Amino acid sequence: MRYVSTRGQAPVLTFEEAMLTGLARDGGLYVPETVPHMPARDIAALAGLSYEEAAFRIMRPFVGDAFTDAEFAAIIERAYAGFDHPARAPLAQLGPNHFLLELFHGPTLAFKDFAMQLIGQLFQASLERSGKRITIVGATSGDTGSAAIEAFRGLDNVDVFILFPEGRVSDVQRRQMTTPSEDNVHALALKGDFDDCQARVKDMFNDFAFRDRVGLSAVNSINWARVLAQVVYYFTSAVSLGAPHRPVRFTVPTGNFGDIFAGHIAQRMGLPIEKLVIATNQNDILHRALTGGAYETHGVTPSISPSMDIQVSSNFERALFEAYGRDGAAVAQQMDALKSQGGFTISQGALQGLRETYASGRASEDETRATIRALHATTGEVLCPHSAVGVKVAQDQPDSAAPMITLATAHAAKFPDAVEEATGLRPPLPARMADLFARSERMTGVENDLAALETLIEERRRA
Ligand SMILES: *Cc1c(COP(=O)(O)O)cnc(C)c1O
């Protein structure tokens, strides 16, 4: 299996190379050269398997010869051992044809753990073998950073630097990043918003001298291995509701488009997904782009679902690459326009292609709170604000015989203020992290300045 860049100008890589490098050297994102097909009988045979066994069968063709079967199976076992639900990604029923896929049973209570725990194990296996060292630099709107720090803390061959927008992440998210005491992890509070954090990380990747000097690696959702890990639960949930014999729909609370793009890969592999619904909060660039055809940044307005407060949605580039018939030059042109003019217009043909796969909707802050309140009253399910955006947008979709599966992307206890405001109840942290607020914090405040950031990273990383 080989991986190509969405901008068509970077070297073609193996799975292991694409995983370790993250962003392609032409600024693009790696995607598989071809998507392997999973025949209907193989999809049907996933029924009744453990999450780990299903994960092995679904991901194996993408990994190529990077790991033996036994190595890869062991990596998957270790990745999900820290989840506190035996099903890993259980389904709850919200209504007659509406299900909630609970993706918050991992160590940091958000779906990011599915990808990050796997990536931690993959990196460790690969770096142990090669003896190489790497420096991971990531931007986070809250959940990626905590999941990355949890996955890489204490690893010998890895230093981790996480940039988060100062004052824009929840207390639980911040504490999950600032309380680990291992000296290979560094939480950096940047004066700016998430898009600033993400832009500085991209700048570092485009500074090739720096990139090579520190062995820069990305575990943001642009990393292909993360997308791959997220393909698995689309299969397991759909199969438990009758796929491949019955089509399903998914609604996905979306920011950087990584999670929902994984759904598209599942669809391309052969899973019968009727529609993938993009759910956004008031930062609705994706919803506007899909309905009007113009991808235009308007600046970020902070919301109660901060992990979706994004205007530059990195992985959307992968969807555009598919929609433009894998024309890397066309994608590069649009990304240049985004950088220089703050937006671009999607061609009619590409827009039509996108609309066949995706639908979209947005939920306001009031609608989000009302959904948390209503779901709690009618089903007892306590939603985090991101999941509530998903449920609201799913409820607004036209009727279909295909069951709707809404992805619950985080645990309510990660966003207790918003949940308490909506329901009057403060969701407690699970027992295993009940002392989070008693632990001491460690972080560094940084300016939104590339040179200063690079200097800090060079000084702090272990040589
Ligand atoms: C990251 C995140 C999202 C958005 O996921 P993308 O893959 O960036 O679209 C939604 N909800 C929560 C809780 C998240 O942490």
Question: What mean pLDDT comes out for the span 54-70?
Answer: 96
- pLDDT (0 to 100) of residue 162: 97
Per DSSP, 41 falls in state: H
Q: Residue 311 pLDDT more than 90?
A: no
Place of tokens 């990393």: 223
Q: What is the pLDDT of residues 327-349, one digit of tens each?
A: 999 999 999 999 899 999 999 99
Tokens representing 26 are: 């032409």
How many domains in the chain?
1
pLDDT-derived band at 299, boundaries 50, 70, 90: confident
Beta strand pairing call for 158-165 and 343-345: unpaired
- pLDDT (0 to 100) of residue 22: 81
- pLDDT (0 to 100) of residue 123: 94
Per DSSP, 410 falls in state: B
Of 214-223, 239-248, 452-461, minimum mean pLDDT range: 214-223
Pocket of ligand 1 (CB under 6 A): 110, 112, 143, 221, 253-259, 307-308, 386, 409-410
- pLDDT (0 to 100) of residue 359: 98
In a domain, 131, yes or no: no
- Ligand 1 mutation pick, 141, 170, 318, 386, max ligand atoms within 8 A of CB: 386
Tokens representing 38 are: 């999973």
Cα distance between residue 277 and residue 287, in whole Å: 10
In a domain, 149, yes or no: no
Query: Which residue's alpha carbon is at the smallest distance from atom 8 of ligand 1?
Result: 256
Question: What mean pLDDT comes out for the span 262-288?
Answer: 98
pLDDT-derived band at 118, boundaries 50, 70, 90: very high
Residue 427 neighbours by CB under 8 Å, 6+ apart: 382, 411, 412, 413, 416, 419, 420
Q: What is the pLDDT of residues 392-434, one digit of tens each?
A: 999 999 999 999 999 999 999 999 999 999 999 999 999 988 8
Largest CA distance in the chain: 58
pTM of the model: 0.94
CA 410 – ligand 1 centroid, Å: 8
In a domain, 263, yes or no: yes
The active-site residue, picked from 112, 275, 392, 414, is: 112
Cα distance between residue 173 and residue 40, in whole Å: 40
Tokens representing 33 are: 């050269």
CA 348 – ligand 1 centroid, Å: 28
Q: What is the pLDDT of residues 80-107, one digit of tens each?
A: 999 999 999 999 999 999 999 999 999 9
b/e burial code for range 370-391 (CB count within 10 A of at least 16 → b): ebbbbbbeeeebbbbbbbbbbb
pLDDT-derived band at 387, boundaries 50, 70, 90: very high
In a domain, 265, yes or no: yes
Q: Is position 132 annotated as part of the catalytic site?
A: no
CA 305 – ligand 1 centroid, Å: 9
Give the DSSP H/E element, type plus range, for residue 32.
strand 30-32
Q: Residue 142 pLDDT more than 90?
A: no
Which ligand 1 atom lies nearest to the CA of residue 257? Answer: 9
Cα distance between residue 383 and residue 54, in whole Å: 27
Nearest CA-CA partner of 356 in 451, 268, 236: 268
In a domain, 396, yes or no: yes
- pLDDT (0 to 100) of residue 195: 85
- pLDDT (0 to 100) of residue 289: 97
- pLDDT (0 to 100) of residue 219: 84
Question: What mean pLDDT comes out for the span 45-51?
Answer: 97
pLDDT-derived band at 23, boundaries 50, 70, 90: confident
Nearest CA-CA partner of 412 in 380, 441, 365: 380
- pLDDT (0 to 100) of residue 312: 83
Q: Which long-range contacts (CB under 8 A, 24 or more apart) does 394-397 make?
A: 394/98, 394/251, 394/277, 394/279, 395/98, 395/371, 396/361, 397/249, 397/251, 397/275, 397/277, 397/359, 397/361
Q: Where are the alpha helices (DSSP H) in 131-178?
A: 143-152, 171-178
Place of tokens 């992968």: 318
To the nearest whole percent, how much of the chain has pLDDT over 70? 100
- Ligand 1 mutation pick, 116, 223, 256, max ligand atoms within 8 A of CB: 256
- pLDDT (0 to 100) of residue 437: 94
218 alpha carbon, distance to own chain's centre: 13
Mean pLDDT (the chain) is 95
> What's the first-to-final CA gap in the chain, in angstroms?
33
Q: What is the pLDDT of residues 427-454, one digit of tens each?
A: 999 998 889 999 999 999 999 999 999 9
- Ligand 1 mutation pick, 109, 176, 254, max ligand atoms within 8 A of CB: 254
Domain extent for 293? 91-106+224-423
Query: Which residue's alpha carbon is at the smallest distance from atom 14 of ligand 1?
Result: 307
Q: What is the pLDDT of residues 241-266, one digit of tens each?
A: 999 999 999 999 999 999 999 999 99
Question: What mean pLDDT comes out for the span 167-191?
Answer: 94
Cα distance between residue 367 and residue 89, in whole Å: 26
In a domain, 432, yes or no: no
Cα distance between residue 188 and residue 256, in whole Å: 20
In a domain, 79, yes or no: no
- pLDDT (0 to 100) of residue 456: 97
Q: Residue 463 pLDDT more than 80?
A: no
Place of tokens 């990380």: 201
CA 255 – ligand 1 centroid, Å: 6
CA 307 – ligand 1 centroid, Å: 5
In a domain, 293, yes or no: yes
CATH of the domain at 411: 3.40.50.1100
- pLDDT (0 to 100) of residue 361: 98
Give the type of residue at 223: N
pLDDT-derived band at 164, boundaries 50, 70, 90: very high
Cα distance between residue 58 and residue 151, in whole Å: 22
- pLDDT (0 to 100) of residue 309: 87
Tokens representing 179 are: 């309380």
